[in-house]
Homo-oligomer: A and B are copies of this chain.
Amino acid sequence: MQIVIALFDRFTALDAVGPHQVLHHLPGADVIFASERERAVTDESGTLTLRADAAFADVPRPDILVVPGGPGQADQMTPGPLQDWLIAADKTSTWTTSVCTGALVLAGAGLLAGRAATTYWLALPELARLGAVPKRERFVFDGKYLTGAGVSAGIDMALALAGRVAGDDEAERIQLAIEYDPRPPYQSGSPATARAELVEKFTAASRFARTAG
């Protein structure tokens, strides 16, 4: 079972590594990071560099494809290596998935038209503009399309996918393997639970400031 995680400059590392950490535990999983060519790809912070071990051309027919988000998503919204690969790979994929603003890339490629989907909380209005039906959920299944909310949601999304692919027992085994028993020391992980003043300031400072809300 080939699982390809797409990388692009200024991606958000946890968007990609959260699902990797879950999915590489699946029996028979062959997880591959890919980009337009084999290269080192640096994240949004400029301080984390992951190696893309394959070019998109090397992995034309993944069983599962995962598109992370991050500030670099804005450069992936028009035809180019990632979009071209996505559109072609989606024709034969079993699952087409995203984390965070990776959903905007899927939507930009025309893959989420009329479909229920989620994304980073600040990007939900943008997802609607791109033709999807935005849902404020941790992850959303619509047929073979599975989209996760922001950044850390890739872990929840991938566990749900593991359950669909390999059964509940296997997903539970993986959850135990990664001791995923979250205990956030604050309750500020969603605009619904964070202080209103923080949400307001954060929204105003974000790259979605003009489109959010």
Binding site for B on A (CB under 8 A): 12-14, 17-18, 20-21, 24, 30-33, 40, 45, 47-51, 53, 100, 120-121, 138-139, 149-153, 155-156, 159-160, 163, 168-169, 171-173, 175-186, 188-191, 193-195, 198-199, 202
Give chain B residues whose Cβ lies under 8 Å from the Cβ of A21: 12-14, 151-152
Q: A12-B21, A13-B21 are in contact. Are A189 and B181 (CB under 8 A)?
A: yes
The residue that A185 contacts in the complex, of B13, B33, B49, B156, with Cβ under 8 A, is B156
Contacting pair B159 A179 (CB below 8 A) = no
Q: A49-B51, A172-B195, A172-B198 are in contact. Are A163 and B151 (CB under 8 A)?
A: no
Contacting pair B172 A152 (CB below 8 A) = no
Give chain B residues whose Cβ lies under 8 Å from the Cβ of A180: 151-152, 182, 184, 189
Contacting pair B186 A171 (CB below 8 A) = yes
Q: Could you list 10 A-B pairs, sorted by A, with CB under 8 Å?
A: A13-B17, A14-B21, A20-B47, A50-B50, A149-B179, A156-B183, A173-B198, A176-B189, A179-B190, A180-B182
Contacting pair B49 A53 (CB below 8 A) = yes
A88 to B: closest C-beta gap in Å: 23
Contacting pair B179 A194 (CB below 8 A) = no
Q: Measured between alpha carbons, how far is A177 from B183 in the docked complex, in Å?
A: 17
Give chain B residues whose Cβ lies under 8 Å from the Cβ of A169: 198
Give chain B residues whose Cβ lies under 8 Å from the Cβ of A139: 185
Q: A17-B48, A199-B176 are in contact. Are A182 and B182 (CB under 8 A)?
A: yes
Q: A51-B51, A186-B163 are in contact. Are A181 and B18 (CB under 8 A)?
A: no
Most central of A51, A149, A163 by chain B CB within 10 Å:
A51
Contacting pair B184 A182 (CB below 8 A) = yes
